Amino acid sequence: MAVIVQKYGGTSVGDADRIRAVARRVAVTRLAGNDVVVVVSAMGHTTDQFVELSRQVSPNDHPREMDMLLTAGERISMALLAMAIRDLGVEAVSLTGSQAGILTSMVHGRAEIEEVRAFRVKEHLDKGHVVIVAGFQGVSAVNKEITTLGRGGSDATAVAIASYLQADACEIYTDVDGVFTADPRVVPEARKLDEVSFDEMGEMAAAGAGVLMLRSVELGRRWGVPLHVRSSFHDGEGTWVREAVGGPPALVGIAHDPDQALVGLTGGGGPAAVVEALEAAGVAAETVGTGPEGVAAAVARDQAAAAVAALAAAAGPATVLLEEEVGKVSVVGAGLRDRPGAAAEVAGALGRGGIEVRLTATTPLRVSCLVPSPRLDEAVRLLHREFFSYGSEEGR
Amino acid sequence: MAVIVQKYGGTSVGDADRIRAVARRVAVTRLAGNDVVVVVSAMGHTTDQFVELSRQVSPNDHPREMDMLLTAGERISMALLAMAIRDLGVEAVSLTGSQAGILTSMVHGRAEIEEVRAFRVKEHLDKGHVVIVAGFQGVSAVNKEITTLGRGGSDATAVAIASYLQADACEIYTDVDGVFTADPRVVPEARKLDEVSFDEMGEMAAAGAGVLMLRSVELGRRWGVPLHVRSSFHDGEGTWVREAVGGPPALVGIAHDPDQALVGLTGGGGPAAVVEALEAAGVAAETVGTGPEGVAAAVARDQAAAAVAALAAAAGPATVLLEEEVGKVSVVGAGLRDRPGAAAEVAGALGRGGIEVRLTATTPLRVSCLVPSPRLDEAVRLLHREFFSYGSEEGR
């Protein structure tokens, strides 16, 4: 008998029909003899509705009360899901984050899970109950205040519970079939990966692959919980994300991130000065390079204004450049370790395709190039053809 | 500095504007130097919406999960109210029933408050915070399950918290100005009472006066908490409900209850047999009398079918009578104790007005008559004229 944690997002429990569909999947898993914990997000647009309601009442920020308000969302979805599961003859109970022992840091809106004391979850599992746990929410360890975990919070809850229970799998249900060698909306011939390592998945997530949040990947790695990213629409195997994967190091995929900006400093200050100025302003500069025009750094587009302000303060407005119409394309995989010329290979392929590379940066598991936004999708397809064509030895 | 508990129902917090209006009242009370605890119900029709949502998901009863679902309602209203109060420069925090230490029996849907451990409420008051407490909800003392208190639950929460804090007043805000000598919608000349005893208010509530639930009156009496029933629309004094009231015993009001039914047994079985059969079926027979046709009892109309079934099982279908079109009119007040002929007086007045009295029953504080439904309002007005006319010595 395996212990399975299943996580369903807001879309999966968006209305009564979908809740009943999730209930059937849960019941089948339970009736196959598994212990099952289900982590759910709030239904569809509940969170947006609550935010709108709060804006009608108050123009100001009230982080504590906002957490109190938002946590009503999972309470609704988890109670309804428990009802639907019980209707199928399977005993089920719902537990809030607090009841499930999700202890967090004392920060509202983006708390981190510090400890899991899920003994109530365990007690119910021991009685044969399916346990529905509210995702995204917890209670602060120090003073028992209700907290929320921020973006990707429900995945984090699922991984934390799976770790506590030493679960055999933590299944993350999504609207796609798993992790692909590229976003299938951009590259129709992209292939689903059977497995990928935490390290590689972390690089994919950091480089823009949206299927799994970087945070869940890091928690999975830290706590040693294998993740199974799979479709909520059918029973087929998805992609396993785990510590070690079979076979020799290979390339796993092309990730891309359309929401980038390029900030630069001309005529003064080296890369170190740029990084320092950006870090002091709380701006993450993922990729920094030098070119004929000076030093350039890639930042998330919604941090571009802050980045420009920081550089201008450090070196004077006249020397700061900003280019907002850029995107990042990345080749990811442990196989890059064995290819010292990979960066040149990637940039070369783009260059041969007539796509200007504005900046290149590498990590041991990734080569990233900033390209003009209008050419981004083309760059993804080009690199996928180059590195992941059927018959290519590069990909797996 | 006084300690004030204020309770606002769902209508009072029905939308953003009303929430801000309640916030202003709370802030004024706080800024006058009082410690303030606010107990709130769920916004307007939230509960109905949740019930509808649960029906879309499941046709069955799931009491535990229904409590989990419904308790999201106060979570929403209390968080929004706390935001609105904070916007006025008054520090405020919301607490769930569980956080506020409302410990209940282990019954879903209609739990009773067994103990109050509101130390978190006290801590926040000591820091000068207004504390918003979720009404209607608690947590079972034995196994920490979320429970709801059923009808009148928010009033019960308010009285319980007021008792714990030894509050100077528990203010119950309503859409009327207080307790009246009769329902002003039926008797326009009805007068607001300045004060009424728990005993008398209990009889009024039991006899159909809707302004305050019998349950809150009983809790107020049991825990010695003076209640102030007052309007949420203006600052005028309402009606105080307390243990002892000033002046000699008097009459306090005419209560009426339109939703009654008369069940009877002809030719067999005395009053004791009728009461026994009804009690065994869980039907409360408030008023039982004997007449030429046999034994008759007044029951709530929604229990009429159960009452008929119980009597038919006990004595045979042919002997059971049911009359659904009756209502109850009651004269209430400690002054009745000094009037041995009160029942005859009341029935006589109705008779002189040409209103048939189907059944009469008395308690030390009340005379009740069952009359045909179409004549009920007329009976209320007639008795109010008889006993509460301006210049009458009877009423106060």
Cβ of A57 within 8 Å of Cβ of B19? The answer is: yes
What is the sign of the dihedral through the CA atoms of A301, A306, A311 and A317?
A: positive
Give the tens place of pLDDT for each residue, A322-337. 999 999 999 999 999 8
For residue A66, list chain B residues with Cβ-Cβ distance below 8 A. Answer: 79, 83
Identify the structural domains of chain B with CATH numbers, from first to last. Answer: 3-174 (3.40.1160.10), 253-388 (3.30.2130.10)
Residue of A nearest to B96 (CA): A68
Cα B241 from chain centre? 13
> Distance between CA B367 and CA A270 in Å, rounded?
95
- pLDDT bracket for residue B390 (50, 70, 90): low
| Residue B318 confidence (pLDDT) above 90 | no
- pLDDT bracket for residue A396 (50, 70, 90): very low
Cβ of A57 within 8 Å of Cβ of B144? The answer is: no
Question: Averaged over A276-290, what is the pLDDT?
Answer: 83
Q: How far is CA A319 from CA A272, A326, B275, B330, in A?
A: 16, 20, 95, 88
Exposure string of B327-346, with b = 16+ CB inside 10 Å and e = fewer, is bbbbbbbbbbeebeebbebb
The half-sphere exposure of A346 on its side-chain side, counting CA atoms within 13 A, is 31
For residue A42, list chain B residues with Cβ-Cβ distance below 8 A. Answer: none
Residues contacting B342, CB < 8 A, separation 6+:
B331, B336, B362, B367
**CB of B343 within 8 A of CB of B351?**
no
For residue A64, list chain B residues with Cβ-Cβ distance below 8 A. Answer: 93
Largest CA distance in chain B: 72
Q: Is A287 helix (H, G, I), strand (E, B) or coil?
A: strand
Nearest to B75 among A20, A72, A144 (CB): A72
**CB of A195 within 8 A of CB of A181?**
no
- DSSP code at position B135: S
Q: How much is the pLDDT for A213?
A: 85
Q: How far is CA A268 from CA A286, A316, A317, in A?
A: 21, 10, 12
Q: How much is the pLDDT for A391?
A: 54
> Distance between CA B210 and CA B179 in Å, rounded?
9
Pairing of strands B130-134, A102-104: unpaired
Give the tens place of pLDDT for each residue, B232-275. 888 899 999 999 888 888 999 999 999 999 998 887 667 888 88
Question: What Rg value do the Cα atoms of chain B yield, rounded?
Answer: 23
Nearest to B79 among A68, A83, A87 (CB): A68
Question: Averaged over B139-155, what is the pLDDT?
Answer: 94
Question: Averaged over A29-42, what is the pLDDT?
Answer: 97
> Distance between CA B346 and CA B251 in Å, rounded?
13
> Distance between CA B122 and CA A45 in Å, rounded?
36
- pLDDT bracket for residue A393 (50, 70, 90): very low
| Burial of B267 from C-beta contacts in 10 A (0-12 / 13-18 / 19+) | exposed
- pLDDT bracket for residue B396 (50, 70, 90): very low
Cβ of B16 within 8 Å of Cβ of A53? The answer is: yes
Cβ of A65 within 8 Å of Cβ of B58? The answer is: no
How large a percentage of chain A has pLDDT more than 90?
74
Q: How much is the pLDDT for B395?
A: 46
User: H helices of A40-71, where?
Assistant: 46-57, 63-70
> Distance between CA B343 and CA A313 in Å, rounded?
91
For residue A54, list chain B residues with Cβ-Cβ distance below 8 A. Answer: 79-80, 83
Exposure string of A30-42, with b = 16+ CB inside 10 Å and e = fewer, is beeebbbbbbbbb
User: H helices of B166-240, where?
Assistant: 198-206, 214-223
Q: What helix, strand, coil percent values describe chain A, rounded to 5?
A: 40, 30, 35
Question: For chain B, what is the mean pLDDT?
Answer: 92
Give the alpha-carbon dihedral of B263, B268, B274, B276, to 10 degrees.
-150
Higher pLDDT, A276 or A129: A129
What is the sign of the dihedral through the CA atoms of B154, B160, B165 and B171?
A: positive
- Encoded tokens for A214: 């970087």
Picking from B76, B94, B127 by the largest number of A CB atoms within 10 A of its own CB, the best residue to mutate is: B76
Cβ of A79 within 8 Å of Cβ of B19? The answer is: no
Nearest to B72 among A76, A86, A87 (CB): A76
Residue of B nearest to A61 (CA): B83
| Residue B393 confidence (pLDDT) above 60 | no
Nearest to A87 among B60, B66, B68 (CB): B60
Residues contacting B196, CB < 8 A, separation 6+:
B179, B204, B239, B240, B241, B245, B252, B253
Cβ of A65 within 8 Å of Cβ of B16? The answer is: no
Q: How much is the pLDDT for A265?
A: 86
Give which of A72, A221, A392 is closest to B137, Cα–Cα.
A72
Pairing of strands A294-300, A366-372: unpaired
Q: How much is the pLDDT for B266?
A: 84
- pLDDT bracket for residue A395 (50, 70, 90): very low
Nearest to A65 among B16, B62, B94 (CB): B94
User: H helices of A301-366, where?
Assistant: 304-315, 342-352
Cβ of B58 within 8 Å of Cβ of A144? The answer is: no
Task: Quickly tell me which residue has 């105080």 as its tokens.
Answer: B240
Cβ of B94 within 8 Å of Cβ of A54? The answer is: no
Cβ of A76 within 8 Å of Cβ of B69? The answer is: yes
Pairing of strands B227-231, B169-174: parallel
- Encoded tokens for A378: 């083309």
Cα A290 from chain centre? 30
**CB of B43 within 8 A of CB of B11?**
no
Give the tens place of pLDDT for each residue, B328-370. 999 999 999 888 889 999 999 999 999 999 888 888 899 999 9
Lowest mean pLDDT among A3-7, B98-102, B175-179: B175-179
Give the tens place of pLDDT for each residue, A122-179. 999 999 999 999 999 999 999 999 999 988 899 999 999 999 999 999 999 998 899 9
CA–CA min distance B68, chain A (Å): 6
- pLDDT bracket for residue B394 (50, 70, 90): very low
Picking from B17, B18, B80, B90 by the largest number of A CB atoms within 10 A of its own CB, the best residue to mutate is: B80
- pLDDT bracket for residue A267 (50, 70, 90): confident
For residue B89, list chain A residues with Cβ-Cβ distance below 8 A. Answer: none
Cβ of B75 within 8 Å of Cβ of A69? The answer is: yes
